[in-house]
Structure 1
Amino acid sequence: MIQAALIGNPNTGKTSLFNKLTSSYEYVGNWSGVTVEKKVGQLRDKTGQLTDLPGIYTLLPITRDEGVAVSYLVNESPELLVNIVDASQLERNLQLTIQILEYGKPVILGLNMIDVAKSNGLAVTPEVLAERLGITVIPLVARTGAGTDFLLEQISLPHHDSPQFNLNYGDRLEKAISLISRELMTSPPQNTDISSYRWLAIQILENNPVVISSLSSYANLNQLLAIQKNVREEFISEGMTESLHDHIRSIRAEYIHQVCSEAVDASGKKPHSLTEKIDAIAAHPFWGIPLFLFTMLIAFKLTFDWLGDPLSDLLDGFISGAFSQSATQLLIAVGASSFTQSLIIDGIIAGVGGVLVFLPQIFILFLMISFIEDSGYMARITVMMDRLMQLAGLNGKAMIPFIIGFGCNVPAIMASRSIEQPKERTLTMLLIPLMSCSARLPVYALFAGIFFVRQQAVVVLSLYVLGIALTLLLAKLFSLTLFKDKHSFFLIELPPYRMPQSATLLRSTWEKGKGFLRKAGTFILGGTVLIWLLTYFGPGGSNVDMDQSYLAVLGGWFAAILQPIGFGTWQSGASLVTGFMAKEVVVSTMNIIYHVPDMPGLQHQIAQFFTPLQAYSFMTFVLLYTPCLATVGVLRKETSSWKWTLFSVAYSLLLAYTISFIIYQGGRLIGFV
């Protein structure tokens, strides 16, 4: 069984290719000691496993992702590396390729997006590239699958030759490389699995922190670092201002330029690509942001008005109608007790079903987010928002986890790993819970569908905009107080626009959406059973009146506190308390409390207890108050700090109460009810 690894720059089509080469894939936790996701899949022909390394630019790590890739190469040493490069950006991509070739393990070069290069007027000759680099080069179009079958055949071959690649870095550096290599060969390190001591020597000269850390127990490390120091001092004494790393990079760049001049015919290159033409409008400094807001409005129109609502109504009719009736008949047929019937029908089906009816809307929103990500537009959003984010103490890259947070706060917090600076990473994680995740959608859909029938999309969009506005204000406040005197930089690659592949798009949507279904079978199911039990029992015994139940007692503790913000009833208090388990449970709780079999019945009950102003205040509170249990857990894991986790819980509660108070009391003052 071959152990291969997929490696390349971000936005080179690595994910699409991984999906094509593997029959299935799974996330098997995180890389050892690092909170960066590890993705492994079995090759389609069952000949081995393929590990998808994070998209990186260099083996000299700046980000966590790059550190993970280097650590993998040092400690796990795959049998084969499949390097994916973008044929339309070949010169830049080959910087990583040269470093991989020096690593010394067998390499196959996947020349992806050959169609994009051709459309841009670039003619790439794979045979010339293969001859100059000394490895197999396979043209690919991962989006359509062209070339992937041949690539799979090549990966599955039982024997692969290691590249005989040596780039001359000049007499002085070559002498140092020889000294370090000889020392390593004489006394090999015990805790690393390196096939090329030359590569290891170059990494030491470049002062690669991951490599040097892996040699921390190596007895002769100080001697190796002394050689590095001597070379650096010689460079300085001769008036060379560039670092050893910069010198090595410049030699690689010169060689790459020579290779590309032979392998790429750019005589037909077009002055303006399709991406540049689209960017003239989509990424325009003035029109770009209104266009982005219009795009999000269309997404919400599809989610709620045009497509989501009709599908949700159909699903609600099935759950509350045929499914509930069949379940009732089955329970009667098997002689289930009244307690069991009530638990299953009024508790589990009403509670879980009350959330599942919003499944179409959630999947549609995930589909929209996946389309924005895969099309290349997401990166433009981060660039357009960078200036605004800088004013708030963040940078444009924080927009990516924020937008992912519209789907779910948990993966959004994990996505903040791509932010290089600890200050901005922590600040972003603290603010992500203000992004309106899909778990809040059932609450919005329920209340907006009752009180704002004709303006559902606009009202829901206003909640998203409110969350973003408060995020920016708090980012500025926290950066001036909690994170002052800490500077950062913003670096992101703009991929070309491309039409997302339908299979990849659906797979991405499913991966996002199945987390919601998993919650429906765990948190929401468990929560609805607990909530129903709290309504069934009370201080007076079992099967008590709802107002005399333990749930009413629990909600009553918070009713007086919630009165100034518009919803001082035990029902509202109980719903918000149980919503800490998962925000969807707010709707489950109301289904159980109001004891209604279908959505129209629940809407009728809520209309008697809320006014439009109270409903908007309630939705705002749900938007801003304490993150759900899963979010709190991942926040603790990612920050490695109870201090920041508890701070997030505390400030969000205070913020939710303050903003809801302003909305409700301010609305009353100007005449709203």
Structure 2
Amino acid sequence: SYTPEELYVRDHIIKEVPDVILNVLDSTNLERNLYLTTQLIDMDLKVIIALNMWDEFKTKGDYFDYEKLGKMVGIPMIPLVASKGKGLEEIFDKIITAFEDKEPTIRHIHINYGRRIEMSIKKIQDKINQPGNEIVTSKIAPRFLAIKLLEQDEKETERISLCKNENEIRELALKESEIISNLRNENPETIFTDAKYGFIEGALKETYRKTDITEKISRSRIIDKVLTGRLLSYPVFLLAMWVMFQTTFLVGDYPMQWIEKGIELLGGLMEQIIPEGMIRDMLVDGLLGGVGGVAVFLPNILILFFFITLMEASGYMARVAFIVDKLMHKIGLHGKSFVPMLMGFGCNVPAIMATRTIESKTDRLKTMLIIPFMSCSARYPVYILIISAFFENYRGSILFGIYMFGILLAALIAWIMKKTLFKVETVPFVMELPPYRVPSIKSILKQTWFKGQQYVKKMGTIILVGSLIIWALGYFPLNKDIEEKYNKQITELKQTTNDLTTTELEKEINRLKLEMHSLKQEKSFIGYIGKFIEPAIYPLGFDWKMGISLLAGSSAKEIIISTMGVLYQTNVDNNELSLIDKLKNQRYTSGKRIGELVFSKLVALSYLAFILIYFPCVAVIAAIKNESGNWKWSLFLAVYTTGLAWLTSFAIYQIGSIFI
């Protein structure tokens, strides 16, 4: 069987028919990496092999005559150290000479699968090569297609439907496949795989020789005794995570303040240049208030990505998967589930797609249904906003606690699913641990910025549109009658001769303006929606604006910040305040709790828990539908996560209110 990624690559090669293929191998693990090369040989394509990580191979002290192997298989091989750019020019030169048919090493060879199998391949090949099948044979090597048909490959069996003698080919392939299977008492796919590895082993016997130098391996093993040992493995992992989150705040604070100041200055400049009216309100309150609120957290996001990339490139992240393997089995998850779960800290969508590597359907479904508890980078800026506002002295520890709570919750849900929905035993997980490496700073920075670019792109698309929609819903209808009523009161107050001092007068005017803006917001479209859902979220300690932010966050979690940036604009004469300060100063303007602060530490904690658990973004719901092939699991995820979020926040707020 092949993964969707492998099938995609095969389809792309067949449809596009590339002039030259660059096959990049890990030269420290030649036997496993050369398997793809044998498939390319069967496809009769021009191939150049780049032997990457050549510097690491040389430190092992092994001998490898790559030029001789290249001549044997008809594929030129060039050493490469991609992290340092060594060997790139030679590779480009080889690609050009191969394209121009001037490369003497390139020749087509056949991997011999044995007399009886070769006879079967020849029979099917002859049927495929018959006149009228040029639409297939012009794109795919008939030998490759014959091999795949003997393997009973579903994709290639479908592809021969374009052949004129489709039924003849199918019948012959099925007959020959059964003969081979009965002769060897094995699945044909396994027979071909064994033959390919036999070919690789034979080729390497003549060109590759191991030495007794094991210094590099020993060094990795010494480090592993500490990092993957029984006593220190979990404490070291937890410490690494805590340091990462703590550094995010300590280092990220400075650029965060600079961006914040820049947005404030830009807002002030726009208010001076643009005349008062709807356009200015849209740009300052909608655009800058929404997108600007999210842009502030870009440095924190980049620092997080930097640390994750560093751990991946150094080889430590593979060790983490090894460390948690036993734990994963205890909660009913496959060891392979950990890699998609780890990816979930970046984005849940590719993480769900990565579950394709898990063979068992039930294990895949379980993994998909708990991945949303892994706090993705979209939730990260929301956490930073709330934590910076209400837990200033324990920021790193609270952030670390949220991530750990998500992991523990995922483990608990997986265990419950194991006992109820998916009662299937998991199979053992075998994983190759790469050697420890000193990663290239250039490579880490490049990958960090690539991930950061996606965040910036999101700000200019989804978040921008979301912010403007929220602003429009909060701005309309204009409610001119409310404005006229309060403006009349302010005018009368100014004209009235009384004993109020200038300071007292300004305070009273500000109070009236605040009332006016709050009332206008409550009477807007967004206000009506917020008031409608408020009874459901009131027991959690949330006001209607928090409810609207959560609702808006269903499309993308960063929109929670931009929505808050738009809605919490009621401090009319304090626009210089940051969103953090506005959240701290926000008070109820109506209802039972009028005059009380909207946010407290307890409410903030309840809100953080809800954001962690509730309805993942629409893209995640769509990804689960695509991967599971059924809307049932998408709807189940949406309902159970939101229900669980409500219960958790309810417990935090109501129990906490007893003690605080």
TM-score, normalised by the number of residues in structure 2:
0.84
- Does residue 155 of structure 2 align to residue 210 of structure 1? yes
- Does residue 74 of structure 2 align to residue 134 of structure 1? yes
Question: Structure 2: which amino acid aligns with 1:66?
Answer: E
Pairing of 1:180-195 with structure 2 (within 5 A): 180-187=124-131, 188=133, 190-191=135-136, 193-194=138-139
- Does residue 581 of structure 2 align to residue 601 of structure 1? yes
Could you tell me how far apart the structure 1 residues matched to 2:463 and 2:176 are? 62
Could you tell me how far apart the structure 1 residues matched to 2:369 and 2:640 are? 10
- Does residue 121 of structure 2 align to residue 177 of structure 1? yes
- Aligned to 2:83, the other structure's residue is in SS state coil
Could you tell me how far apart the structure 2 residues matched to 1:213 and 1:496 are? 42
Contact map agreement 1:105 1:195 (CA 8 A) in 2: no
- What does residue 452 of structure 1 align with? 391
- Aligned to 1:609, the other structure's residue is in SS state coil
Alpha-carbon offset, residue 659 of structure 1: 0.9
- Does residue 618 of structure 2 align to residue 629 of structure 1? yes
Residues 237 and 587 of structure 1: is their aligned pair in 2 closer, same or farther, counting only changes over 3 Å?
Answer: closer
- Does residue 234 of structure 2 align to residue 289 of structure 1? yes
- Aligned to 1:429, the other structure's residue is in SS state helix
Could you tell me how far apart the structure 2 residues matched to 1:193 and 1:493 are? 39
Question: Structure 2: which amino acid aligns with 1:86?
Answer: D
Pairing of 1:391-406 with structure 2 (within 5 A): 391-406=330-345
Q: Between Structure 1 and Structure 2, how many residues are aligned?
A: 603
Alpha-carbon offset, residue 413 of structure 1: 2.8
Q: In the TM superposition, what whole-angstrom CA distance separates every residue of 1:173-194 from its partner, at most 9, and x where no partner exists?
A: 2222222222222343634544
- Aligned to 1:455, the other structure's residue is in SS state helix
- Does residue 253 of structure 2 align to residue 325 of structure 1? no
- Does residue 90 of structure 2 align to residue 118 of structure 1? no
Residues 132 and 564 of structure 1: is their aligned pair in 2 closer, same or farther, counting only changes over 3 Å?
Answer: same
Question: Structure 2: which amino acid aligns with 1:627?
Answer: P
- Give unmatched runs, 5+ long, in structure 1: 1-60
Pairing of 1:507-546 with structure 2 (within 5 A): 507-537=446-476, 540-541=479-480, 545-546=517-518
- What does residue 586 of structure 1 align with? 560
Q: Which has the larger radius of gyration?
A: 2
- Does residue 309 of structure 2 align to residue 366 of structure 1? no
Q: In the TM superposition, what whole-angstrom CA distance separates every residue of 1:7-33 from its partner, at most 9, and x where no partner exists?
A: xxxxxxxxxxxxxxxxxxxxxxxxxxx
Contact map agreement 2:625 2:631 (CA 8 A) in 1: yes
- What does residue 167 of structure 1 align with? 111
- What does residue 504 of structure 2 align with? none
Could you tell me how far apart the structure 1 residues matched to 2:287 and 2:11 are? 47
- Give unmatched runs, 5+ long, in structure 2: 484-515, 570-574, 588-596
- What does residue 19 of structure 1 align with? none
- Does residue 258 of structure 2 align to residue 269 of structure 1? no
Q: In the TM superposition, what whole-angstrom CA distance separates every residue of 1:182-231 from its partner, at most 9, and x where no partner exists?
A: 22223436345445323332222233332223224435455445555555
Match of 2:648 among 659, 662, 672: 659
Contact map agreement 1:621 1:656 (CA 8 A) in 2: yes
- Aligned to 1:267, the other structure's residue is in SS state coil
Could you tell me how far apart the structure 1 residues matched to 2:188 and 2:479 are? 79
- Does residue 28 of structure 2 align to residue 92 of structure 1? no
Question: Structure 1: which amino acid aligns with 2:229?
Answer: H
Contact map agreement 1:105 1:163 (CA 8 A) in 2: no
Question: Structure 2: which amino acid aligns with 1:325?
Answer: G
Question: Structure 2: which amino acid aligns with 1:592?
Answer: V
Q: Which moves more between the two structures, 68-77 or 109-118?
A: 68-77
- What does residue 67 of structure 1 align with? 7
Match of 1:554 among 525, 529, 535: 529
Contact map agreement 1:565 1:660 (CA 8 A) in 2: yes
Contact map agreement 2:568 2:583 (CA 8 A) in 1: no
Q: Which moves more between the two structures, 514-523 or 280-289?
A: 280-289
Contact map agreement 2:321 2:339 (CA 8 A) in 1: yes
Residues 597 and 435 of structure 1: is their aligned pair in 2 closer, same or farther, counting only changes over 3 Å?
Answer: farther
- Aligned to 1:298, the other structure's residue is in SS state helix
Alpha-carbon offset, residue 464 of structure 1: 1.0
- What does residue 402 of structure 2 align with? 463
- Aligned to 2:24, the other structure's residue is in SS state strand
- What does residue 8 of structure 1 align with? none
Q: In the TM superposition, what whole-angstrom CA distance separates every residue of 1:127-173 from its partner, at most 9, and x where no partner exists?
A: 22222222211111111111111111211233337533123322222
Could you tell me how far apart the structure 1 residues matched to 2:234 and 2:168 are? 56
- What does residue 488 of structure 2 align with? none
Could you tell me how far apart the structure 1 residues matched to 2:130 and 2:475 are? 76
Q: In the TM superposition, what whole-angstrom CA distance separates every residue of 1:222-263 from its partner, at most 9, and x where no partner exists?
A: 54455555555555666x433433333334333322322222
- What does residue 413 of structure 1 align with? 352
Could you tell me how far apart the structure 2 residues matched to 1:181 and 1:411 are? 39
Residues 123 and 653 of structure 1: is their aligned pair in 2 closer, same or farther, counting only changes over 3 Å?
Answer: same
Could you tell me how far apart the structure 2 residues matched to 1:481 and 1:193 are? 52
- What does residue 496 of structure 1 align with? 435
- What does residue 13 of structure 1 align with? none
Q: Which moves more between the two structures, 131-140 or 205-214?
A: 205-214
Question: Structure 2: which amino acid aligns with 1:153?
Answer: D
Question: Structure 2: which amino acid aligns with 1:128?
Answer: K
- What does residue 202 of structure 2 align with? 258
Question: Structure 2: which amino acid aligns with 1:601?
Answer: D
Contact map agreement 1:75 1:193 (CA 8 A) in 2: no
Question: Structure 2: which amino acid aligns with 1:565?
Answer: L
Please, what is the CA RMSD of the aligned residues? 2.7
Q: Which moves more between the two structures, 156-165 or 286-295?
A: 156-165
Contact map agreement 1:74 1:192 (CA 8 A) in 2: no
Contact map agreement 1:365 1:407 (CA 8 A) in 2: no
Alpha-carbon offset, residue 603 of structure 1: 4.3
Question: Structure 2: which amino acid aligns with 1:602?
Answer: K
- Matched-pair identity in %: 34
Residues 290 and 192 of structure 1: is their aligned pair in 2 closer, same or farther, counting only changes over 3 Å?
Answer: farther
Contact map agreement 1:107 1:163 (CA 8 A) in 2: no
Could you tell me how far apart the structure 2 residues matched to 1:279 and 1:222 are? 57
Could you tell me how far apart the structure 1 residues matched to 2:635 and 2:335 are? 26
Question: Structure 1: which amino acid aligns with 2:610?
Answer: F
- What does residue 508 of structure 2 align with? none
Contact map agreement 1:101 1:163 (CA 8 A) in 2: no
- What does residue 605 of structure 2 align with? 616
Could you tell me how far apart the structure 2 residues matched to 1:504 and 1:169 are? 42
- Aligned to 1:82, the other structure's residue is in SS state strand
Match of 1:563 among 538, 543, 549: 538
Residues 327 and 189 of structure 1: is their aligned pair in 2 closer, same or farther, counting only changes over 3 Å?
Answer: same
Alpha-carbon offset, residue 498 of structure 1: 2.4
Alpha-carbon offset, residue 479 of structure 1: 4.2
Could you tell me how far apart the structure 1 residues matched to 2:466 and 2:2 are? 43
- What does residue 424 of structure 1 align with? 363
Question: Structure 2: which amino acid aligns with 1:545?
Answer: H
- Aligned to 1:598, the other structure's residue is in SS state coil
Alpha-carbon offset, residue 300 of structure 1: 0.5
Structure holding more strand per residue:
1
Structure holding more helix per residue:
2
- Aligned to 2:186, the other structure's residue is in SS state coil
Could you tell me how far apart the structure 2 residues matched to 1:99 and 1:307 are? 48
- What does residue 342 of structure 1 align with? 281
Q: In the TM superposition, what whole-angstrom CA distance separates every residue of 1:244-300 from its partner, at most 9, and x where no partner exists?
A: 333333343333223222222312431634433333333334432322221111110
Residues 277 and 441 of structure 1: is their aligned pair in 2 closer, same or farther, counting only changes over 3 Å?
Answer: same
Contact map agreement 1:401 1:413 (CA 8 A) in 2: yes
- Aligned to 2:28, the other structure's residue is in SS state helix
TM-score, normalised by the number of residues in structure 1:
0.83
- Aligned to 1:411, the other structure's residue is in SS state helix
- Aligned to 1:138, the other structure's residue is in SS state strand
Residues 647 and 230 of structure 1: is their aligned pair in 2 closer, same or farther, counting only changes over 3 Å?
Answer: closer
- Aligned to 2:23, the other structure's residue is in SS state strand
Contact map agreement 2:152 2:174 (CA 8 A) in 1: no
